[in-house]
Structure 1
Amino acid sequence: MQFLAYILVYPLLWIISILPFPLLYLVSDGLYILMYHIIGYRKKVVKSNLKLVFPGKSEQEISVITKKFYSHLSDMFLEMTKTLTISEKELNKRFKIKNPEEFKRLESMNKSIILMFGHYASWEWSVVLQNYINFNGLAVYKKLANKYFDNLVRRMRSKFNTTLISTKETISTINENESNNIKSIMAFLSDQSPRLTKEVYWGQFMGIDIPCFTGAERLAKKLDLTTAFLKVTKVKRGHYEAEIKTLAEDSTAYNDYKLTDMFLREVEKQIYEAPEYYFWTHKRWKYKDRKPQ
C-alpha cells in the first residue's frame, strides 16, 4: 500500500517540480482557492491559533492574516516540491544568506554549531546553506511512516550535500562526529510541541505557557557547542533571505533553558513582523491548559 501511494503521487510531484516559476505560482493560486475557500484545510485550527496569540486583533484582521497565510502555505508546498528538480544556481538566487561572514567567524572558533530555527517563511529551501559553510551540514528531521516518501524527502533535502539524520539518530551521530573531531553545523526546527511528560520544560511562546523542546540546548551545553539562530525572511514571492544570529558562543555559560527562551523570543519577533509566514496549521498551543500548578 505504501508503494502504491508513492507511485501514484510521485509522477504528479515530478510534473509540478519541472514547471517554470510563473506557471508554478498559477498552480499555487489554484491550490490556495482549494485549501482556503473549498476544503477549508485546518481553517479552524489556524483561526483558533491566531485569536489565541493575537487577542487584541479584530475578526477582520484575523481574516486578512489567515488568507495571506494560506496563500503563503500554497506557495511553500509547491516550492518544496520544486526542490526535486531545481538547480543549485536557481536556488542560490532565490534563497540568499545575508551575512555569510558570520558562518565563517563561527567556524573559525573550531566548535560545532547548533543552528536553531522555526517553522517560518521557508525552512525547506535552507538546504542551500551547505554552500556557505565548510563544516559538515546536518539537518534533524522526523522520519516519515511511508518509507518511500521518507526516502524521497531525504533525497530532496540532501541534494545540496546536507546530511539528514532522524530524531532517533541525532545523539549518536553528533557524539560520533565530536569524538572523531568532525565539526558540524546541526539544524534543529525547535518550535514544535514535544510529548507531554513530567520532566518537560514549560516556557512562554507568544505570551502563552507551553511545553518546549530543549534537545538542541541540552546538546549545545553538554558538548560545549556554539548556539545560533537562523532568521529567514520572505522578501517577495519565491525569494527569501536568511540571517544568522549568534545566540551564544559559549553555551555552557547560560542557565538551563535560557537558550531555549532566547530562541523562542527570536521566533516571536518574526511572527510579530509578518504573522502570515508562520506555520499556523500545527497545534503549537494544544497543551496550554495542562501546565502543572
Structure 2
Amino acid sequence: MNFISYIISYPFIWLFSRLPMRVLYVISDILYFLIFYVIGYRKKVVASNLKIAFPTKSEEEVTKLSKQFYHHFIDLILESIKSISISKKEISKRYVFKNPEVINDLAKQGKGIMLVGAHQANWEWFLSSPLVLDTTVYATYSQLSNPYFNKILKQTRSKFGTVCIKTTETIKVMHKNFLNNSSGLHLLLSDQSPMVHKTLYWKDFFEVNVPIHTGAEVLAKRFDYAVAYYAVKKIKRGYYEAEFKLITDTPKAYENFEITSIYLAMVEQEIKEQPSYYLWTHKRFKHKDKYEEWLLLKKNKK
C-alpha cells in the first residue's frame, strides 16, 4: 500500500513542484478558501491557541489573525513542495540569511553549534543554509511511515548539503562528531510541546505555564556547543529573511534551564512581531493544566 500511494500521488506532487511560484500562489488562494471555509481544518485549535496567547484581542481580531495564518499556512505547504525542484538561484533570492558570519565565525573557532529556532514563517527553506554556512549542517527529522516518501523527504532536505539525521540518532551522531572534532551545526526546533512524563522543565510561555523541551540546552552543555538562535521574518509573500543571534558560546557557565528560558523568550518575541506566521495548528498549550500531575510524577520517581 505504501508503494501504491507513492506511485499515485508523487507524480502530482512533482508536477506541482515544477509550477512557477505565481501559479502556486493562485492555487494556494483556492486551497485557502476550501480549507478555511469548507473543511475547517483545525480551526478550533488555531482560534483557541490565539485566544490563549493574546487574551486581550477581540473575536474580530482573532478571526483576522486566523485567516492570515491559514493564508500563510497553505503558502508554506506549497513552498515546501516547491523545495523538491527549487534551484539554488531562486531559493537564494527568496530565503536570505542576513548575517551568516555569526555562525561562520564560530565555525572558524572550531566550535560546535547548537542552532535553535521556532516553527515560524518558513523553516523548511532553511535547507539552503549550507549555501552560506562554512560548516556541516545537521537537521533532525521524524521518520515517515511510508519509506518512499521518507526517501523523498531526505533527498529534498539534503539537496543543498544539509545532512538529515533521524531524531533518535541525534545524540549518537553528535557524540561521534565530538570525538572526531568535527562537530558542525545541529538544528533543533524546540518550541512545541513535549510529553508530560518526559518533561524536565516548565516555564511561562505567553503567560501560560507549559512544559518545555530542554534537549538543546542539555546537549549543548554535554558537548560544549555554542548556542545560537535563528529568527525568520516574512518580508512579503514567498520572501523571507533569517537572522542569527548568538545566545552563548560558553553554555556550561549557565544555570540549568537558563539557556532554555532565554530561547523561549526569543521565540515569544519573534511570534509577537509576526503572529500570523506561527504554527498555530499545533496544540502548544494542551498540557497547561497538568503541572500538578507532573509534580506528582516527579515525586513518585524519586
Structure-2-length-normalised TM-score: 0.95
The one-letter code sitting in structure 2 at the alignment partner of 1:37 is Y
| Residues 61-95 of structure 1, C-alpha deviations (whole Å, 9 max, x = no match) | 00000000000001000000000000011100000
The residue aligned with 1:195 is 195
The one-letter code sitting in structure 2 at the alignment partner of 1:269 is Q
8 Å CA contact 1:103–1:132 kept in 2: the answer is: no
Distance in 1 (CA, whole Å) between partners of 2:259 and 2:203 is 11
The residue aligned with 2:33 is 33
Distance in 2 (CA, whole Å) between partners of 1:144 and 1:204 is 32
Shift of 1:267: 0.9
Larger mean Cα displacement after TM superposition, 197-206 or 259-268: 197-206
2:61 equivalent to 1:61 = yes
| Residues 9-57 of structure 1, C-alpha deviations (whole Å, 9 max, x = no match) | 2111111100011111001111111110110010000001101111100
| Residues 102-140 of structure 1, C-alpha deviations (whole Å, 9 max, x = no match) | 122221221100000000000000111111112111001
The one-letter code sitting in structure 2 at the alignment partner of 1:29 is D
8 Å CA contact 2:104–2:133 kept in 1: the answer is: yes
The residue aligned with 1:135 is 135
Shift of 1:99: 0.9
The residue aligned with 1:269 is 269
Structure 1 stretches of at least 4 aligned residues deviating more than 4 Å after TM superposition: none
| Residues 206-246 of structure 1, C-alpha deviations (whole Å, 9 max, x = no match) | 11111111111100011111000000000000000000000
The one-letter code sitting in structure 1 at the alignment partner of 2:87 is S
Larger mean Cα displacement after TM superposition, 232-241 or 103-112: 103-112
The residue aligned with 1:71 is 71
The residue aligned with 1:113 is 113
The residue aligned with 1:91 is 91
8 Å CA contact 1:107–1:135 kept in 2: the answer is: yes
Instruction: Report sequence identity in percent.
Output: 44
Shift of 1:193: 1.3
Structure 2: give runs of 5+ residues left out of the alignment. Answer: 296-302
The one-letter code sitting in structure 2 at the alignment partner of 1:50 is L
8 Å CA contact 1:95–1:125 kept in 2: the answer is: yes
| Residues 143-199 of structure 1, C-alpha deviations (whole Å, 9 max, x = no match) | 112222111111111111100111100000010011011131100011121111165
Distance in 2 (CA, whole Å) between partners of 1:4 and 1:276 is 37
Distance in 1 (CA, whole Å) between partners of 2:19 and 2:198 is 49
2:178 equivalent to 1:170 = no
Distance in 2 (CA, whole Å) between partners of 1:133 and 1:221 is 23
Distance in 2 (CA, whole Å) between partners of 1:194 and 1:169 is 18
The residue aligned with 1:42 is 42
Structure-1-length-normalised TM-score: 0.98
The one-letter code sitting in structure 2 at the alignment partner of 1:164 is C
8 Å CA contact 1:233–1:240 kept in 2: the answer is: yes
The residue aligned with 1:254 is 254
Indicate the SS of the match to 2:196: coil
Question: Which protein is richer in helix relative to its size?
Answer: 2
Matches within 5 A, 1:216-255: 216-255=216-255
8 Å CA contact 2:199–2:213 kept in 1: the answer is: no
Structure 1: give runs of 5+ residues left out of the alignment. Answer: none
Aligned length: 293
Indicate the SS of the match to 2:121: coil
Distance in 1 (CA, whole Å) between partners of 2:110 and 2:222 is 16
The one-letter code sitting in structure 2 at the alignment partner of 1:135 is T
